[in-house]
Structure 1
């Protein structure tokens, strides 16, 4: 194959990478909805594997200023956009020296992409416990691009690769192309999801009545767990006969979606349901069950702010404010929670004292200890009347069916 044919091959494969990265971003932003990404994953034989990956804490970088949670798939979109642009430039070029420089630039980019794919594959199999079909295709795409680049290098007569010099000359252009591709992917995937669903609230995911009833039957077979709700903040009537316990992280987009669903549940089942809130920050800074601390310890700050707002009788406005900030892309920090405290009428000096106190830390640790006994590994994790349901954003149709049947059995 000559240079132009190989460049065209790289272009085509790069566009495939863009397509599947876009679908993965749609799956993340449209969690719980009937979207094209979920349909594509199912068509490829993956079932809900992509949904399971999207709902894990490894699917996004949380709390990016002005953007909120950014799915890892969009970094892939930027990566494939950059690679596609480079192969297009190679196709148009008639200068062998320019082609050699572009090959030198692509080598570290594709090797880094391959290493990251290996890491993500290990997380998917070893930690999340599934293989997302759409993710797997992107791994194949990256390997294919490496093969095409190697063949191109051979076709060009195996020129000496001057990687450092090429990076110095091309990093600004590559950075701009990556940023442009990332921005296009972010905006288009968000707009696509908004177009498919009337709002950001997760809706039904296409489960038929038989599937829903099967899940309900599984719930009634689950053992009761003895979850301690004493002293935990709740929304709803204290003596409501149905108690939903929610373990969550304030940087978790799926927890945000679930908060909308539970808000609707509380409205529709007023007096029948209360929701008890517990913390499981996905941050090693304050959660001993998490391996890595996150920069800024934003999840930990938010958890402590919620605990301490509750001590002033202001849990609900703090809870809603923290998720509002998440939606707006405002990173949780000491300053942001103090601003929120002022907004909802807290004594901010007491708030700051409480957040630094051993008492609040002990309460958070107790919730994490209980989460360990319940084998919680991701958020949100929900329990209804002391029995667990499947972790992740709940299907509202399933939830409504389950609540109706619990009420019937009373």
Structure 2
């Protein structure tokens, strides 16, 4: 079983209780259709088990297959600088079929980001570095595709529906 080699830290984005008994980490790609299919299932898990799960999302853009994945990841990191990581994360997955640079700006406007700041922030090396650091942490943890999930630090072999079934059984 692969283990999460880089522990959850203050550069990670999470939803749920910080001290929840279960930490669910997803390595995802915003343009990956399998990640898109997992997105509503993760939401369902979060709704069903709100006090038990801390959900962490780490970027794992498969840029060769998904040319917009890296730009989407950087856009979410730019949104995070305005306190809206999860809003950007959600709107990208909800509009996954029409991804483009123009679409990212429309999404940023829709979630009420300061567009001038967003435009400047997406060009910052620190945001690209954060995306690359997430990707590297995934490689070191044995991630070789998306989505990849870790439950309390151990790689989960299965998809989002399997995760939901596991949580229901426990």
- TM-score between both structures, scaled by the size of structure 2: 0.90
Write the deviation string for residues 220-270 of structure 1: whole angstroms up to 9, x where unpaired. xx4653433211111112222211000011111211221111111111111
Structure-2 residue corresponding to 1:313: 83
Q: Which SS does the other structure have where 1:265 is aligned?
A: helix
Kept in 1: contact 2:4–2:150 (CA 8 A): no
Q: Which SS does the other structure have where 1:240 is aligned?
A: coil
CA distance in 1, matches of 2:4, 2:92: 29
Kept in 2: contact 1:227–1:386 (CA 8 A): no
Kept in 2: contact 1:380–1:391 (CA 8 A): no
Write the deviation string for residues 177-211 of structure 1: whole angstroms up to 9, x where unpaired. xxxxxxxxxxxxxxxxxxxxxxxxxxxxxxxxxxx
Q: Which SS does the other structure have where 2:31 is aligned?
A: coil
Structure having the larger proportion of residues in strand: 2
Structure having the larger proportion of residues in helix: 1
The partner residue of 1:249 within 29, 36, 48 is 29
Structure-2 residue corresponding to 1:178: none
Matched, 1:303 2:53: no
Going from structure 1 to structure 2, the CA distance change for 1:278 and 1:340 (only over 3 Å counts) comes to same
Going from structure 1 to structure 2, the CA distance change for 1:377 and 1:253 (only over 3 Å counts) comes to same
Structure-1 residue corresponding to 2:129: 362
Q: Which runs of 5+ in 1 are unaligned?
A: 1-221, 284-291, 405-410
Higher relative contact order (CA 8 A, sep 6+): 2
Number of equivalent positions? 168
- TM-score between both structures, scaled by the size of structure 1: 0.39
Q: Which SS does the other structure have where 1:397 is aligned?
A: helix
- Equivalent positions of 1:185-224 (< 5 A) are 222=1, 224=3
Matched, 1:227 2:3: no
Kept in 1: contact 2:13–2:85 (CA 8 A): yes
Structure-2 residue corresponding to 1:278: 58
Kept in 2: contact 1:244–1:276 (CA 8 A): yes
Which entry has the higher C-alpha Rg, 1 or 2?
Answer: 1
Structure-2 residue corresponding to 1:341: 108
Kept in 1: contact 2:60–2:146 (CA 8 A): yes
CA distance in 1, matches of 2:128, 2:2: 30
